[in-house]
């Protein structure tokens, strides 16, 4: 479960309560119950830690099958990527915390690789889909959106380009309102929202398109 907070991309982790890797930080999850789909299982286990209704996007990453990934027992795991908007701040239990993805502690199992794979998937999709809707609040200014992109992508982003690209593709639309001219002075910023809150591919890959 990734989220942008305090200008950093963070991941929700909790401390394992049993062997193997007792006490180590790990991704939330658990065993699949009979009659459940994997997605239902993810939501179900996540609901024990946080408010799942805030989950704006959930997609499957990969199924790990290395026989040695669990030293005690043979175990398969299917990893999912979940995204939560930057403005939600749900309470979490004592054993659960958010960690910056750029400075992860030691993680149990192959969870470090999973987190990095999720980060990379997110970065790629930020460029060619509207997936930003799952990281941004319902309405926002362009500079707020820029900060979210900077945190998630890990490099500078030009506000000018961001606006041009997302508007041209029809990803964003102006609400018509302006942010209350707050504390710091400066021109009041226009408010935008994502036109759709479902994943859509907005940049058909560059080359070899069908003619016409």
Partner DNA sequence: TAGGTTTACGACTGTGGGGCGAAAACCTCG
Partner DNA sequence: CGAGGTTTTCGCCCCACAGTCGTAAACCTA
Question: SS3 for 175?
Answer: strand
Q: How far is the CB of 74 from a second copy (least distance, A)?
A: 6
For a second copy, the closer of residues 114 and 162 by Cβ is 162
For DNA, the closer of residues 90 and 188 by Cβ is 188
Number of residues that bind DNA (CB under 7 A): 29
149 binds, among a second copy, DNA, none (CB under 5 to 8 A by kind): a second copy
Task: Report the distance separating Cα 95 and Cα 74, nearest Å.
Answer: 26
Q: How far is the CB of 141 from DNA (least distance, A)?
A: 5
Cβ atoms < 10 Å from Cβ of 7: 11
196 binds, among a second copy, DNA, none (CB under 5 to 8 A by kind): none
Interface of this chain with a second copy, residues 70 to 129, rule: CB under 8 A: 74, 76, 78, 124, 126-128
For CA atoms 153, 155, 158, 159, the dihedral sign is positive
Could you give the string, one character per residue 130-149, with x where binding to DNA holds by CB under 7 A and - elsewhere?
-----------xxx------
> String of b and e for 54-83 (b: at least 16 CB within 10 Å)?
bbbbbbeebebeeeeebeeeeeebbbbbbb
Residue among 4, 136, 1 at smallest CA distance from 82: 1
Q: Tokens 């400066």, residue?
A: 186
- Applying CB under 8 A, which residues contact a second copy? 32, 34-39, 60, 62-63, 65-67, 74, 76, 78, 124, 126-128, 149, 153, 155-158, 161-162, 165, 203, 205-208, 210-211
């Amino acid at each position: 479960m990734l989220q942008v907070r305090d200008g950093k991309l963070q991941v929700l982790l909790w401390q394992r309560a049993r062997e193997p890797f007792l006490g180590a930080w790990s991704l939330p999850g658990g065993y699949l119950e009979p009659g459940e789909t994997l997605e239902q299982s993810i939501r179900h286990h996540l609901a024990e830690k946080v408010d799942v209704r805030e989950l704006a996007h959930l997609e499957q990453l990969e199924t790990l099958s290395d026989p040695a990934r669990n030293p005690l027992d043979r175990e398969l795991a299917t990893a999912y990527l979940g995204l939560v908007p930057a403005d939600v701040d749900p309470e979490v239990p004592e054993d659960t915390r958010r960690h910056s993805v750029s400075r992860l502690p030691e993680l149990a199992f192959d969870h470090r690789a999973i987190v990095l794979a999720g980060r990379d998937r997110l970065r790629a999709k930020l460029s060619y889909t509207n997936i930003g809707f799952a990281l941004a609040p319902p309405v926002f200014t362009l500079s707020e959106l820029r900060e979210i992109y900077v945190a998630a992508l890990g490099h500078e982003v030009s506000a000018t380009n961001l606006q041009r690209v997302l508007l041209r593709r029809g990803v964003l639309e102006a609400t018509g309102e302006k942010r209350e001219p707050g504390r710091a002075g400066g021109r009041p910023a226009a408010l935008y929202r994502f036109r759709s809150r479902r994943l859509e591919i907005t940049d058909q890959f560059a080359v070899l398109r069908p003619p016409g």
